[in-house]
A and B are shown apart, each in its own frame.
Chain A
Amino acid sequence: MIKVNNLSFTYEHGSAPALKDVTLHVKKGDFLGIIGESGAGKTTLTSAINGLIPHHYHGDYFGSVEVDGVDTFDAQLSDLSLVIGTVSQDIDSQMVAAVVEDELLFGLENFGVPHDQIEGRMLQALEAVGIPDLRNRRIATLSGGQKQKVAIAAILALRPDVILLDEPTGELDPVSSRQIFDVLRELNQHGVTVVVVEQKVMLLCEYAARIAVMDKGRIVLEGTVADVLRRYKDMERIGINCPRVATLCDRMTERGVGDGRVVATVADACSYVKEVLS
Chain B
Amino acid sequence: MDSVFSYIPGESFLHRMHPLTKLVAAFAVCVGAAVCGNHAYVLALIVAQLIVAAICGCFKPCAKLVTALGSLALIVLVLQVLCVRTGTPLVQAGWFMITDEGLLSGVLVVLKVVCMVLPLSIAFMTTQINDLTNELVGKWHLPYKYAFTVTTAIRFIPVFMDEMSAIMEAQKARGVRFDTGNVVKRIALMVPLCVPLLISSVKRTDAIAVAAELRGFNLRTRTSAWKKHAFALADFIMIVACFALFVVAIIL
Contact = CB atoms under 8 A, between A and B. Distances in A.
Interface residues of A, number: 33
Interface in A146-180: 154, 158
Given A98-B7, A98-B155, A102-B130, A88 B215 contact: no
Contacts of B148: 96
A111 B210 contact: no
A94 B211 contact: yes
Interface of A: 50, 52, 56, 77-78, 81-82, 86, 88, 90, 92-94, 96-99, 102, 105-112, 115, 118, 136, 138, 140, 154, 158
B130 A99 contact: yes
17 contacts: A56-B209, A78-B216, A81-B213, A81-B215, A81-B216, A88-B210, A90-B207, A93-B207, A94-B207, A96-B211, A98-B129, A98-B151, A107-B216, A110-B216, A111-B219, A115-B226, A154-B215
B236 to A, nearest CB: 26
B225 A96 contact: no
A164 to B, nearest CB: 10
Contacts of A92: 159, 204
Instruction: Decide if the interface of chain B is mainly helix, strand, loop or mixed.
Output: helix
B158 interface: yes
A81 B158 CA distance: 29
Interface in B121-174: 128-130, 148, 151-152, 155, 158-159
Interface of B: 7, 9, 128-130, 148, 151-152, 155, 158-159, 204, 207-221, 224-227
Interface of A is mostly: helix
A93 B7 contact: no
Nearest to A113: B226
Nearest to A136: B9
A110 B213 contact: no
B208 A93 contact: yes
